[in-house]
């Protein structure tokens, strides 16, 4: 019989065929041409800087939110129109064709019919890449009732609280944070495969209550009970980026028109919808209030800042540097991350990082709202202190033996990436 970890690994998506190496694919003329076009587009889109768009739209989003949402909605609908452009052209021309044939008499009319037919056929051919797209789902260790019954039960409880949003898969992977990845199932963005992605760092460095609040934020966002419109606008930033990548990966020259269009449109929409995404994050904080009080949530905001700053500036740079200098380190990262966090955080660091985050006047690098905005959103005006890490979410929601096997596996994967 399989162990819980082996059973979870068996559920994970298969690795791509190793015979189809990128090196072999790059030798084909079509791939060479599409790579050249991609490099040209990368240069051309540099002036279309989404940060400039965000700064330009900030006054409108702040002072006229209704007008701003209407603008973002129009730009979002333009994305659907761009996807359907060639199929619509073919449909319109072919629909009129029988009537034109019956009414045709002069050679000029037959010539016009022939031209329309050629355009319709060309539009059909150029529509093929839309339905040949292959979207990449996030990969990781599948979480289920066999290897994580308590964690799975928590996810199901939160789904029940938020009226059962569709959640197709839960995976565990490296990194800090919890996200929902919505991957289109077919050529058009109508049906999605929803994956809840949990960062292993999150399980190992947050208290159970804070971890539960983070889960509630994402599952509530997916349900969209409070503001479905804002959630849709925000999620399209991820969707159009996925289309951009999918068209870019196609080697056929037929994909070049849509590749060019979405190389420009996806970053443009990301800039236009930036404040919609930020508003959606504030809505997510309100979902967390459905299962936690405001004091707990204010403490979570500080905990996230302190933990993420410590991991990104102290822990991971240090362990990576040590591993590259002296081979296999004595203490592997995932096996030691909780202990190092408990011992390495000082009161001075905590106060300095929270103070710095609270006093930032503006930041357009990330759609995560500023600390002051998040506190004001839940009725607070000062940061709260983070909780001492007495028990981690991994301690509370995972079986110790299964968790140890997962930690060992992730540590070995981390070492393999360094080689």
Residue 68 lies in a domain: no
pLDDT confidence of 16, banded at 50, 70, 90?
Answer: very low
pLDDT digits (tens, 9 = 90+) for 106-163: 887 788 888 888 988 998 988 888 888 889 899 999 999 999 999 999 999 999 999 8
- Predicted confidence at residue 134, as pLDDT, reads 87
User: What pLDDT was estimated at residue 329?
Assistant: 64
Percent of the chain whose predicted confidence (pLDDT) is above 70: 87
Q: What percent of the chain has pLDDT over 90?
A: 54
Structurally, how many domains does the chain consist of?
1
Q: Count CB neighbours of 311 within 10 A.
A: 20
pLDDT band of 1, cuts 50, 70, 90: very low
pLDDT at residue number 38: 57
pLDDT at residue 112, rounded to an integer: 84
Tell whether 13 is covered by a domain: no
Lowest model confidence (mean pLDDT) among 35-49, 90-104, 277-291: 35-49
pTM of the model: 0.82
Higher pLDDT, 370 or 18: 370
DSSP string, 152-202: HHHHHHHHHHTT-----EEEEESSSSEEEEEEESSSSTTSEEEEEEEEHHH
In a domain, 237, yes or no: no
pLDDT surpassing 50 at residue 327? yes
**Cβ distance 389 to 207 under 8 Å?**
yes
Asked if residue 125 belongs to a domain, the reply is no
What rounded mean pLDDT belongs to the chain?
Answer: 85
Q: Is residue 86 a part of any domain in this protein?
A: no
Could you tell me the residue range of the domain that residue 396 belongs to? Answer: 135-223+293-418
Find the mean pLDDT for residues 323-332: 72
Q: What is the pLDDT of residues 300-326, one digit of tens each?
A: 999 999 999 999 999 999 888 888 777
For residues 212-218, average pLDDT: 94
Q: Is residue 28 part of a domain?
A: no
| Lowest mean pLDDT, pick from 9-18, 34-43, 79-88, 224-233 | 9-18
With respect to residue 244, please indicate whether it lies within any of the assigned structural domains.
no
Strand arrangement of the beta sheet that strand 169-173 belongs to: 141-142, 169-173, 192-199, 178-184
Inside any domain, residue 120: no
Please say whether the dihedral angle defined by the alpha carbons of residues 148, 181, 34 and 134, taken in this order, is positive or negative.
Answer: positive
């Amino acid at each position: 019989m399989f162990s819980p970890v082996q059973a979870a690994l068996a559920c994970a998506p298969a690795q791509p065929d190793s015979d189809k190496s990128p090196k072999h694919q790059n030798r084909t003329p079509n791939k060479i041409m599409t790579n050249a076009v991609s490099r040209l587009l990368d240069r051309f889109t540099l002036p279309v800087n989404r940060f400039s768009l965000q700064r330009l739209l900030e006054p409108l989003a702040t002072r006229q939110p209704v007008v701003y949402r209407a603008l973002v909605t129009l730009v979002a609908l333009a994305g659907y129109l761009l996807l359907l452009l060639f199929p619509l052209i073919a449909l319109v021309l072919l629909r009129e064709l029988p009537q034109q044939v019956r009414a045709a008499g002069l050679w000029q009319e037959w010539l016009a019919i022939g031209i329309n037919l050629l355009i319709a056929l060309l539009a059909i051919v150029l529509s093929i890449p839309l339905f040949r797209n292959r979207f990449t789902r996030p990969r990781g260790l599948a979480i289920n009732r066999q290897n994580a019954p308590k964690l799975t039960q928590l996810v199901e409880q939160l789904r029940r609280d938020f009226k059962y949003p569709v959640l197709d898969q839960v995976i565990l992977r490296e990194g800090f944070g919890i996200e929902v990845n919505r991957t289109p199932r077919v050529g058009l963005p109508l049906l999605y495969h929803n994956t809840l992605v949990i960062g292993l760092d999150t399980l190992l460095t947050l208290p159970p209550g804070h971890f539960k609040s983070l889960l509630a934020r994402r599952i509530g966002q997916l349900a969209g009970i409070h503001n479905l419109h804002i959630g849709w606008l925000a999620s399209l930033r991820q969707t159009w980026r996925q289309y951009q990548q999918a068209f870019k990966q196609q080697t056929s020259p037929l994909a070049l028109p849509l590749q060019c269009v979405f190389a420009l449109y996806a970053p443009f929409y990301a800039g236009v919808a930036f404040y919609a995404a930020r508003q959606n994050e504030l809505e997510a904080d309100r979902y967390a209030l459905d299962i936690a009080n405001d004091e707990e949530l204010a403490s979570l905001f500080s905990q996230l800042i302190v933990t993420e700053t410590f991991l990104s500036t102290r822990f991971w740079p240090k362990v990576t540097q040590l591993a590259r200098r002296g081979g296999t380190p004595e203490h592997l990262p995932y096996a030691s991350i909780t202990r190092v966090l408990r011992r390495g955080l000082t009161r001075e660091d905590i106060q300095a990082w929270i103070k710095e985050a609270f006093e930032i006047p503006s930041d357009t690098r990330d759609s995560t709202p500023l600390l002051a905005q998040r506190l004001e959103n839940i009725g607070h005006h000062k940061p709260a202190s983070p909780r001492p890490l007495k028990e981690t979410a991994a301690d509370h929601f995972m079986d110790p033996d299964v968790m140890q096997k997962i930690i060992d596996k992730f540590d070995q994967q981390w070492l393999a990436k360094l080689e």
